[in-house]
Structure formats: structure tokens, C-alpha cells
Structure 1
Amino acid sequence: MADSVYRALCRVFGVVLPAVGVGATIGGLFAHRFVAKQLGSEDITMPSGDLIDREVASALITAEDAEILAPHAGATLRNGPQARIYADNYVLAHMKVAAERAGVPEDKATYAGVGDLAAELNKELKAELSDHHPEMGPGEVSGLARMEVQDPETEYDLARKINELYSLRSENFFMGNSIRGMLLNAYGWWLIGLIARIAGAGLIGIGTLLGLAGFGKRRWR
């Protein structure tokens, strides 16, 4: 009786598991093709070997970043691992260097952090303007502060620094994070596809073994 139940279960799972495995494999292949197509439409190319060397020499990227980028030099992004490398070892590396050269502390080197730093400096600028123009009310001081920040010829160092931070936030962190978000999203879907393909292969293998046990000839002692 137990042997009959066992064989029946083997037959059921011997059919179900391979079917699920085939579906998972197809889904994984679709995810990989989709990622490749989307990355291909963006036409993003890894830096060439010469460019990598120049950027290491100018400290735009580290030697560790260059070592990771080198095997893919000049290649157009086609898969998830390439997308992650470009996002983390090229785009992010440039973002960090830009923040460092702008004098932004490491713990503030984010979109929100730069915004907070600019807000702090803006308060200092308003206080300085208020001291220089005691006849002005808070609203007038705020308006003057905005004008000074936008004025390329302002005489206030704080205003120039705030303008620099605004540019850094919009051109470096906002655009950089947007690119990284797209690339890391592609990597995430590629990774899901890889997991689905591995799981699919495992289910097909296990289902095949169970099928052989369930549908194979019964051996009598």
C-alpha cells in the first residue's frame, strides 16, 4: 500500500515539477531577453581602456573600480552584471568624486544630504544679509538671498557655495541617481531571471527523477 502511494506521488510530481520548471525557465529567459533589449535601446557603452586609465590618473575613479571595469571596456551594456558594474563602479564613483571636490562631507554626499547642507548655508546667508540690511523684514531677506544665490557675480561667498551645491545636487546626484536607478533595476530583473532559470533547471531535474521512479517498471522481490 505504502509503495503504491509513493509511486502515485512520484507520478504526480514527476509531471508537475517539470512543467513548473519549464515555465520558470521560460520566464527567466524572457527576463534576460527583456533586460538585454532595454539596455540595448539605451545604448550605454562602458568606458574604453584608455579612458579608464586616464580617469584613474586624474582620480575620477579608483584603481579598484578600474580593475572591475577593465574586462568590459568599450562594451555596450547587455546584461545585469554589466549594468551593476557601470552603476556602482563608474557612475557612483564619479558622484563621490564630484561631492568630495565640492567640499561635501562624506556623510552628506547624497541628494538629501547636499540639500540639507545647502539649507544650513542658506540660513547663514540670510543671517548675514539681515545684519547688512537691518531695515529688511524676513520676507525681503529671503528674496534677497535667492537673488544673491542666482547672481553669478554675487559678492557673498555663501551664496556662491549654495549655488554650487544646488548644481551639484541637480546635475550630479539627481541625474546620477536616476541613471543608477535604471541600471540597478535592470540588474534586479536580470537576477530574478537567473534565479528562475536555476530553479527551473532544478525542478526539471528533480521532477525527472521522480517521474522515473513513478513510471518506471516496478521491481518485485
Structure 2
Amino acid sequence: MANPTYSAMARVFAVVLPVAGVGALIGGKFAHRFVGEQLAAEAITMPDIETIERELKIGLVTAEDAELLRPHAGVTLSTGPQARAYADNYVLAHMRVAARQSGVPDDQATYAGVGDLAAAKNRELKAELRERNPGLSPAEVNLLAKAEVADPETEFEAAREIKALYELRSDNFFMGNAIRGMLLNAYGWWLVGLIARIAGLALVGVGALLAAIGFRTGGRND
């Protein structure tokens, strides 16, 4: 009794699994096509070999970054791996260099980390302003600190540093992270598509194996 039962189950799954596999293959193909179309609309081009080598020499990218960028040099982004390489090995590399050039420690070279540094400098500025103006209320000190940060001719070094940190956070980390988020999102969907295609092929293969077992066994039992 067991053998006919298993044979029948094998024949059922020999039909169900390939159908599911074909669906997964179609879904994976759609995901890859969709990612390619979205990246093509952005028209982002990888740096060419000359640019990569030049930026490696002057320290804008590391040797590891350059190694991962070279296979995609000069191409317009169209796949998930290309998007990830551009996000992690070009955009992020430049963000880190900009932060380092502004005196930001590597462990604080993030949007939040730069914000924390600016907040600490802001406290320093307010303390200096209170020392010079002991009669001011906390609200007045806060307003005066904002005015000093906005004043391009301020005499306070802390105010100039705060302004530079605000600009770094806005121009470098906010914009950079927005670009990276878009690219890494594309990579994520491309990866989902790849997994779907692999799963689809596996389901079709298992289905074919079950068909060989189920229908052959069923034929002998009949």
C-alpha cells in the first residue's frame, strides 16, 4: 500500500513543483528586469579605469574599493552587484574621505555621529557665550548661538566648526546616504530575484526527479 501512495504523491508533486518553479523563475526575471530599468533611468555611470587609478593614488578610494570597482569600470549601472559596488566602494568611500578631511574620527563618520559632534560643539559655544554674557537667559543664549553659527564672520571658532559639521552632515552624509539607500535597495531586489530564479530552477529539477520516480513506479504497479 505504501508504494502506490508514495508513487501517487510523487506524481502530484511532479506537477506542482515545476509549476511553482516556473512562477519563481518568472518572478525572478521580472525583478531583475525591473531593477535594470530603474537603474537605467538614473543613468549612473561607474568611474572609468583612469579615474579609479587616479583616485586610488590620491586616497579617495582604497585598494579594496578599487579592486571591486575595476570589473565595472565605465559601465552604466544596470545590475544589483554594480549598484552595490558603486554604493559601498565609491559613494561610501568618498563620504569617509570627506569626513576625515573635516577632522571627523572614523568611528563617528556617520550622519548621527556628525550630529553628535555638532551638538557637543554647540554646547561648547553656548558655554563660551554664557561666560561672556552672564546676564543672558538660556533662551537668549540659544538664539545668540544660532546667530553666531549663521554669521560667516563670527569670531567664535566653535561656531565655524558647527557650521562646517552641519554642512558635512547635509551635503555629504544626508545626500550620500540617500544615493546609497536607492542603490542598495536596487541590490536587495536584484538579490531577491536571484534567489527566486535559483529556487525556481531547484523546484523544476526536483519536480523532474519526482516525475521520473513517480510515473515509472506507477507504471510498474499498474
TM-score range for the pair, normalised by the shorter chain length: over 0.9
* 1:28 paired residue number: 28
* 2:79 paired residue number: 79
Counterpart Cα distance in 2 of 1:152 and 1:191: 47
* 1:138 paired residue number: 138
Normalised to the residue count of structure 1, the TM-score between the two structures is 0.96
Counterpart Cα distance in 2 of 1:182 and 1:84: 10
Counterpart Cα distance in 1 of 2:68 and 2:194: 21
Counterpart Cα distance in 2 of 1:135 and 1:86: 53
Task: Encode CA deviations 1:129-175: one digit per residue, 9 max, x unaligned.
Answer: 11112232211111111111111111111001000000000011111
| Correspondence 1:152-163 to 2 at 5 A | 152-163=152-163
| Correspondence 1:88-167 to 2 at 5 A | 88-167=88-167
Moved more, 54-63 or 173-182: 54-63
Task: Encode CA deviations 1:46-66: one digit per residue, 9 max, x unaligned.
Answer: 011111122112211112111
Q: How many residues align?
A: 220
In structure 1, runs of 5+ residues without a counterpart are: none
Q: Is residue 183 from structure 1 mapped to residue 196 from structure 2 by the alignment?
A: no
Which residue type is aligned with residue 160 of structure 2? R
**What SS does the aligned partner of 1:59 have?**
coil
Moved more, 195-204 or 135-144: 135-144
In structure 2, runs of 5+ residues without a counterpart are: none
Normalised to the residue count of structure 2, the TM-score between the two structures is 0.96
Which residue type is aligned with residue 218 of structure 1? G
Counterpart Cα distance in 1 of 2:168 and 2:11: 63
Task: Encode CA deviations 1:86-125: one digit per residue, 9 max, x unaligned.
Answer: 0000011011111111111122111111111101110100
Q: Alignment RMSD, CA only?
A: 1.1
Counterpart Cα distance in 2 of 1:8 and 1:219: 13
Moved more, 131-140 or 96-105: 131-140
Give 4+ residue runs of structure 1 displaced > 4 Å after superposition: none
Counterpart Cα distance in 1 of 2:63 and 2:201: 38
% identity of equivalent residues: 65
Which residue type is aligned with residue 94 of structure 2? H
* 1:218 paired residue number: 219
Counterpart Cα distance in 2 of 1:72 and 1:153: 46
Counterpart Cα distance in 1 of 2:108 and 2:170: 15
